[in-house]
Structures are given as C-alpha cells and as structure tokens.
C-alpha cells in the first residue's frame, strides 16, 4: 500500500516537472499558452525541447495585434510613397505643359 502511494506521488511530481513550462506559462497568463503546452507535450521529452519550452514560457507576452500593426504600417508607408510619386508626376506634367504653352522665339 505504501509502495503504491510513493509511486503515485512520484508520478505526480514527474508530470509536474515535465509540464513545468506549461504551468509557468499559465501562471504568467501567456497569450500563446496552448501553443507552449502542445510544444511542451510533444517535444518536451527531449532535454532541449523542455528547455526551449521553459525559455519560451518565461518570455514576456508579445503585443496582441502584431500582424495588424505591421499591415497598418506597411499601408501607411505605401500610401506615403504613392502620394509622393503622384505629386512628383503632377509637378513634372505641369512643368511640361507650361513649357509647351510658351511661344518659342
């Protein structure tokens, strides 16, 4: 009976240590908790995978909308570039038209 209790306690402790990165990610309220937990469950049996999952769990949360911020920034830059090129084209066309309208002597 005591042997069974010791084995169950050892199994619980071993599972707690194995899933320590997932537990830490949960306590730190990581946005990507499911990804870390799955990575930990699949690759955690290797020492390198377990250490990588632990490192990942200890990192700060990434910004929530990184993709939309990048898309917004790219759109802003492309619109700025488009506006600058359009203004340059209008200026060149205006200067050509004014050169054509001048009488040549």
CA 30, CA 57: separation in Å to the nearest integer? Answer: 7
Do 46 and 83 reside in the same domain of the chain? no
For 47-92, the pLDDT digits (tens) are 999 999 999 999 998 777 777 878 888 888 888 888 888 899 989 8
Q: Which residue has the tokens 């090129």?
A: 85
Do 7 and 50 reside in the same domain of the chain? yes
Instruction: Tell me the pTM.
Output: 0.58
* Domain range enclosing 81: 63-105
CA 31, CA 41: separation in Å to the nearest integer? Answer: 18
Do 49 and 89 reside in the same domain of the chain? no
Do 69 and 27 reside in the same domain of the chain? no
Quick one: pLDDT band at residue 105, thresholds 50, 70, 90?
Answer: low
Res 104: pLDDT: 58
For 26-45, the pLDDT digits (tens) are 999 998 899 999 999 999 99
- CA distance to 89, 91, 96, 99, per residue, from 102 (Å): 20, 17, 10, 6
């Amino acid at each position: 009976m005591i042997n069974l209790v010791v084995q169950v306690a050892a199994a619980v402790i071993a599972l707690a240590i194995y899933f320590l990165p997932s537990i830490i990610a949960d306590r730190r309220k990581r946005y990507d908790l499911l990804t870390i937990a799955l990575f930990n469950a699949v690759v955690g049996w290797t020492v390198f995978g377990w250490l990588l999952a632990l490192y990942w769990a200890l990192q700060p949360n990434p910004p929530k909308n990184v993709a939309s911020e990048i898309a917004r920034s790219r759109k802003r830059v492309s619109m700025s570039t488009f506006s600058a090129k359009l203004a340059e084209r209008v200026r060149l066309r205006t200067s050509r038209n004014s050169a054509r309208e001048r009488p040549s002597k």
